[in-house]
Structure formats: structure tokens, C-alpha cells
Chains A and B, each alone.
Chain A
Amino acid sequence: MLDDKYHVDRAVGTMQDNKITAKNVQVFYGETHAIKDVNVAISDKTVTAFIGPSGCGKSTFLRCLNRMNDTIDICRVTGDIHIDGEDIYDPRVDPVQLRAKVGMVFQKPNPFPKSIYDNVAYGPKIHGLAKTKSDLDEIVESSLSKAALWNEAKDRLHEAGTGMSGGQQQRLCIARAIATAPEVLLMDEPCSALDPIATAQVEELIDELRQSFSVVIVTHSMQQAARVSQKTAFFHLGNLVEFDDTDKIFTNPQDPRTESYISGRIG
């Protein structure tokens, strides 16, 4: 445990331009202590991967970052999570504004049962990002382009989003998430429901998104973490075991638990 602290502190200390800092975060589901004292600093314009065995709390922690856990009645979060130096659990923070700033992509592609255009335009509409129809068209086009979907979608903008293939749907969800011009993009196992080709497309996309956003991705696949991320955090049984540069985690893990996980002995 002391060891973890050391790594975490070191990581926090050397990090520059931290977008998100989390200190002593605890999450409880009723009586269950799901996240135990997690400290992490996520820097801007990088891809941070959360890895760990099922039920280790990585998704739970991810959902703390845009307060999606608020919707679960029995869930309780303590500790500090700051984005750009502002405490997101401050009573003055409206989760609606927070979620416009911290976009999210879910495990299963979940486009709205509306047209492709409406899927992307919904966020900008409710946040008042577009004053005119042409503004909105522009946002839709640029979001779909950023999500590498424009070429496939431009001729069927008014067809159902749910009629696309799984990989296209997930990219549509990414387009929807970036249409609100977020600063952080949270991705909860975005490729787990996709085939390898679609996965490769989404991974490529994540790498491009790094230019504009800070991306946090939860993944079960260590290869994926190694491929797309610059930083990796390893969670185990609700603890943040190790957080460091991705290269380091995969080549020279400091904690024996990390080592046994990435070498396939646990998890």
C-alpha cells in the first residue's frame, strides 16, 4: 500500500498540465466499498487507460468523473475530484454543465432511436451551441468528420442511427459525445461490443481525438491499453495499484499485482 502511494504521488508530482486530479476518492454502493482511496492525476491531451480485472472499480471510478454515479441512489462518493482546479462535487456544480464538459461514450453503442443527424445535433441543441440551422449543420459535419464517420454518413444523415453497423454506431456515439465540445472524453470499454476491424477504427480515432481532448478509456484488453494510451492506471479490488506511463506499466511494473495481471496470472 505504501508502495502504491509512492507511485501515485510521484506520478502526480511529475505530471504537468493536469486536467483532472482525484484525491482520496472513495465510492460506496450501499455497504460495499467499491473504490478505496484512489488518487490519480490525468493530464490534458493524453489518453489515459484504466485496466484491471472485472469488478475492480475502474468503470465506477470513470463514472465519478462526470458524476454519472449520481443517478444511482445508493451510490456515495467522497474525496475530491477537480477538473481544471474546480471541485466537481461542489454543491454549486450542476451535473448537466459538468457533463457538457466531460463527454462520455458507453460500452454498448447506444444511439438514440432518431436520425443520425438528430443524434449528433441533440447535445449542441440542448446546450445552445448553435444559433442557426447552418451552425448546427456545421457542428454535425465536423463532429462526424472527427469521428471518422462523415464519409459513410453524409448521404444518410436522416436515416435511423440505430440502423448502422455496431462499429458505425459506436463512432456515432463518439461523434455525439464530441459534438458538445467537451474537454474530457470518458470511454467505458468502447470496443468491447465491436469486432476487430471496428475496434481498430475506433482505436485510430481515439489516437486522433488526443489532439483535442483528454481521453480516459476503460478497457479489458491490455493490448488495447498498450496501443492507444500514454498513461495507464491498474485497478485491483477497488484500489489503484499502479499509475504510470503505459510503457513502464507494461515493461517494468513496480507492483507484483500489476505484473501478475499483465502477464495473465490474475484477472
Chain B
Amino acid sequence: MTQDTADMAAPAQQGKSLLTQDARTRKRNAAETRFKAYGIAALGFSILFLAVLLFAIIRNGVPAFTQTFVTIEIALPADVLDKNGNRDIEDIKKVSTFGYNPLIEDALVAAVAGIETEVEDGDLKKMLSSSAGAAVRDAVIANPDLIGQTIAFELLASSRVDGYLKGRVTREDLARDKNLDAAHLDLVDALIETGGVARKFNWDFILGSDASESRPEQAGMGVAMLGSVFMMLVVLLLSLPIGVAASIYLEEFAPQNWITDLIEVNISNLAAVPSIVFGILGLAVFIQFAHLPQSAPLVGGLTLTLMTLPTIVISTRASLKAVPPSIRAAALGVGASEMQTVFHHVLPLAMPGILTGTIIGLAQALGETAPLLLIGMVGYIASNYPDGIASGFLDPNSAMPAQIFEWAKRADPAYYERAWGGIIILLVFLMTMNIIAIILRRRFERRW
């Protein structure tokens, strides 16, 4: 066909000037220009969408990293907190959170003493998070010497006050809100002037644990982050060796017959199976059949391993295939065994590709939510960090994407903000993993 047109075009070309484009050339050039324009437009669109996405994430998520704190001087009288007076830790623990609330109320009354307000003394505590009592009690139990002194405490403001400082809550909103009145906001304004209320970076959002529906100001990602880390450890330790060993066998040793063809087709299909299918498989096999603990990172890791394996096998096989056959021939030619050939020569050359595939697989697993919902990796862990390595794998936990999902489900808009903040943490994790992958690649890549 091309031959024919070339032959037919040849006589017509004769005698024509090179300085003017003929119709065919113009058409061809126009097509090329159009194609380039499509490409640039596509690129422009994807950059635009990426920019919008990043902008949305940062705009919505960054406020979650700061939190409003109220600083008040709380008197810690010994006759209330330690009736026997011998600083016995068991006695001190007997005073419950409710025992601390009157002290905090007194401190609040003292703090707003000079400010004119219609808020009743008993309602002042609505400005504070309901976790305030527990926070003061924890501090006292940690350091009983505080008893008898007056200490300045930095306590979390309630989520409404926090929302007011972040521009989320207005006085109009509070008209129908029984949690806070507009009068409180006037107080807050006055306290901001004196420095009693301030917005600060909140490490507890990154390191803390989840909190109940009514205290979004207290919730953090820390425990879910640990859950994800333990899961990723399981996924890495299982899927990398199993995936790489399976690929090496299939690529280098297995005979090429219909059985290996069938396996290959099925691995490719598995990579495209929806993750929720792996979730229900994990539920059936690991929890219902093997009776592993529910909501445990071990089970989550096992389930995600199933999901990650095909990705790793496919990318490992591709990078093994990409190693030039001449290297294998060279190694076999000097009398290396097949295994020596693979491990001394082929695998090191395939390593960058294998690592890339593994990191992509892990990143997918890190962001996966659906299978975690099925195996119950959405534990509500409001206080307890896993105690040691073993319980890290076996105790109920959540994972970052599941935690974000949980927060996004909750009604309070303060949780919506935290969901966005959680996404930032998740993305930082993914970026860290990608950077590690790039560093490892650089290290393994042969520059010759």
C-alpha cells in the first residue's frame, strides 16, 4: 500500500520546487501540529486537575494540623485531689475526671474575671473540650508533685471554638447550636486579645488516637498510622519474597507449557480483581476459617498481601524479561549454574524494576480501604497504643485510609476537616515511600 502510493507519487514529484509545500505535505504537517496540540491540551488538563486536587487538599487539610488551645491557671488543691495527704498514687487515681471539672470551672471563672459577659459561670466550660478534665487528671497522675500548686494548663478548646478561629463557625451558626452561644465567642475574642486562647500546631493530630464523635478536637491519626505501618510490614515481608521467588521460578526455571501459560493468565487477571473481593476472601480464609483475630493488622496485612502479590509478580517478571539474554548466556557459558546465573547476574540487573513494582504494590496496599472494611480493620481505638511488637500485629487497630473513611462519615464538620488532614498524612507517607524507592533504585542501578 505505502509502496504503491510512493510509486505513484514519484513521477508527480519530479520537477517540483522544494521551496513550496505541496498539498500532501501541508496536510501531513497540519495533522502533526494538531496531534501535538491534543497532547499539550491533555497534559494541560492533567496538570490543572492535579493542581486543583493539591489545592483542595492543602486548603481543606492544613487547618487540621493546628488546634485552638485555651491557657488557664488551674489550682490543684491537695484537700480535693489527695485527701489522705500522703501522695499515694492509688489515692490520687481515685479522683475521677469529674472531680477535676469543678477545679477547671473555677479556673475559667478566674480567667474571665475582668471581662463583661452574659455567659453563666457554669456554661463557661462549653468553651473547652470535654477532654479537659481527663487531660488535667493525666498530668497530675503523671506528676503528683503538682498537687498543691497552681499550674498553667494549655487545654484543647471545644471544636466550635476551634471552628470559630478557623472561620468554619460563625455567630449565626450558633443560634441553633446548644453546644455554644454567640456570647462565648465574644469571650473568646477577648481572650484572644490577652493570649488566653490561641491556635497552635497540634502534634496530637499526627501522633494521637481517635476520639469519640463529640470530641473531634481530640482525634488524631497516630494509632491508625501504626496500624498501617504494621500492615505494611506484613505485606512487605510476605509479598516481596513470595512474589519475587514465584516470578523467578516462572520466568527462569519453569517449562513453557499450558500450565505455566494458565498461571500467567490468571496472575494477570488477579491484578485486575476488585480489592473488595480480596477483602471478602480474607474474611473467609483468615478470620472465619483460620480464626485469626479480627481487626488485627496481621489479618489486614495478609489480605493486602494477596492483593499486592500479582502486582509484584507482574512487575518482577517484566524486569526479569528485560535483562538481556546475552547476560544469561555469558554466565552459563562460564559454567555458572542456572541458580548462580539468576542470583549473581540476572537478579541484580532486575532489582530496580522489582523495587519499583514492590513500592507501587505497597503504595496501592497502603491506600486500600475496601478490603479493610470487610475484615473489620476500622477499629475505634480511642486511647490504647499497641503495647509491644506482638500486640502491634495482633491487637485490633485501624489503618490510615480506614480512619479517614471513618472521619469523613461522622456528622461534625470538624471531622470533615480532619479527614482532609488525614489525607495529607497519607500522601506524605506515600511520598516517603516513593522517595525510598528512588533512593534504592539509584543504589541498585548499574551505571555501566
Contact = CB atoms under 8 A, between A and B. Distances in A.
Interface of A: 66, 68, 71, 73, 96-100, 103-106, 108, 110-113, 122-123, 126-127, 160-163, 173, 176-177, 179-180
19 contacts: A71-B328, A71-B332, A73-B256, A98-B335, A103-B333, A106-B330, A108-B326, A110-B326, A112-B330, A113-B327, A113-B349, A122-B331, A123-B334, A126-B334, A126-B344, A162-B448, A173-B330, A176-B330, A180-B334
Residue among A96, A111, A173 with the highest chain B CB neighbour number at 10 A: A96
Nearest to B334: A123
Contact of B335 (A71, A97, A111, A163): A97
B329 interface: yes
Contact of B345 (A105, A112, A163, A177): A112
B337 interface: yes
B344 A122 contact: yes
Contacts of B340: 126
B334 A177 contact: yes
Given A99-B332, A103-B334, A163 B448 contact: yes
Contacts of B330: 106, 110-112, 173, 176
B178 interface: no
Interface string B314-328: 000000000010111
Interface of B: 255-256, 324, 326-337, 340, 344-345, 349, 446-448
Nearest to B348: A113
A112 B335 contact: no
Contacts of A126: 334-336, 340, 344
A161 B349 CA distance: 15
Contacts of A97: 335
A96 B327 contact: no
Nearest to B328: A71
A99 B448 contact: no
B314 to A, nearest CB: 22
A113 B448 contact: yes
Given A106-B326, A122-B344, A160-B448, A177 B333 contact: yes
B334 A122 contact: yes
A108 B326 CA distance: 8
Contacts of B446: 113
Q: Which 9 A-B pairs have the closest CB atoms?
A: A160-B448, A100-B335, A110-B326, A123-B334, A104-B333, A99-B335, A110-B330, A113-B446, A162-B448
Nearest to A99: B335
Contacts of B336: 96, 122, 126
Nearest to B336: A126
B44 to A, nearest CB: 40
Nearest to B257: A73
Given A108-B326, A110-B327, A113-B327, 19 more contacts: A68-B332, A71-B328, A71-B329, A73-B255, A99-B332, A99-B333, A99-B334, A100-B334, A103-B334, A110-B330, A112-B327, A112-B331, A113-B349, A113-B448, A122-B334, A123-B334, A126-B334, A160-B447, A160-B448
A99 B338 CA distance: 12
B442 to A, nearest CB: 16
A201 B256 CA distance: 41
A176 B345 CA distance: 15
Nearest to B448: A160
Contacts of A68: 329, 332-333
B445 to A, nearest CB: 10
A146 B345 CA distance: 25
Nearest to A159: B448
A98 B448 CA distance: 31
A194 to B, nearest CB: 15
Contacts of A122: 331, 334, 336, 344
A105 B256 CA distance: 27
B207 to A, nearest CB: 45
Given A73-B255, A160-B448, A106 B331 contact: no
Contacts of B337: 96
A109 to B, nearest CB: 9
Contacts of B324: 110
A123 B335 contact: yes
Contacts of A99: 332-335
Contacts of A123: 334-335
A68 B338 CA distance: 12
A179 B330 CA distance: 13
A95 to B, nearest CB: 8
Contacts of A66: 333
A228 B344 CA distance: 35
A113 B334 CA distance: 15
A142 to B, nearest CB: 16
B441 to A, nearest CB: 15
Given A96-B337, A99-B335, A127-B335, A110 B329 contact: yes
A162 B447 CA distance: 10
Nearest to B338: A71
A126 B337 CA distance: 9
B201 to A, nearest CB: 49
B325 to A, nearest CB: 9
Contacts of A98: 335
Contact of B329 (A100, A106, A161): A106
B385 to A, nearest CB: 47
Nearest to B252: A71
Nearest to A179: B334
A127 B337 CA distance: 10
A169 to B, nearest CB: 11
Contact of B333 (A106, A161, A162): A106
A216 B327 CA distance: 22
Contacts of A127: 335
Contacts of A112: 327, 330-331, 345
A182 B334 CA distance: 9
Contacts of B332: 68, 71, 99
A97 B337 CA distance: 9
